[in-house]
Amino acid sequence: MEAVLFTNFSNDVFTHEWDKQSYTFQPGQTIYLQDYLARHFAKHLIDREINRIDRNTSDILLREQMMKRCVAGTSTPTASAVQIETEILNKNEIGASEPEVDEEKKAWCDSCDAKGVRHKKDCPKSRESQSAKEETFEGLDETPRT
């Protein structure tokens, strides 16, 4: 895995999804990303731009030219995922424009980042809901009816 420099070379905002998260890149924005993300976004940006100029998307020479404008700056190829993440964070200065994540697609629980219908096991909200259920039934006679 590598960290590479991705550039939105177009004059328009480019938005695309990866793993159900929407990423937005402003015109001319340059940011370091994992190589697979940069190449994924580049492929879709290139397809969009080729379609806009009404050319065939299988034009290999045109795709290569646009890819050079879109993806550059490779780093050490055999780095671990943690090293790549650290490198990306260091290269993308704090406060620089980052891809925007669509707010609607964020996790629903701020405490445990759960994405499903249940909180994670150690989530404080899970305990709150559990204790609320226990309080509701407190003092009821638990003898079975006959």
What pLDDT tens digit does each residue of the chain (146 aa) get?
678 899 999 999 999 998 999 999 999 999 999 999 999 999 999 999 999 998 998 899 999 999 999 998 654 444 556 666 666 666 666 545 555 555 554 455 666 766 666 666 777 766 555 554 455 555 566 666 65
HSE-CB of 87 using CA atoms within 13 angstroms: 21
CA 101 to each of CA 16, 25, 64, 78: distance values in angstroms, whole numbers, following the listed order: 10, 11, 29, 28
Q: Length of the chain, please?
A: 146
| Per-residue pLDDT at 95 | 46
| Per-residue pLDDT at 72 | 83
| Per-residue pLDDT at 28 | 92
| Per-residue pLDDT at 111 | 67
| Per-residue pLDDT at 100 | 55
Tell me the whole-structure pTM to 2 decimals: 0.53
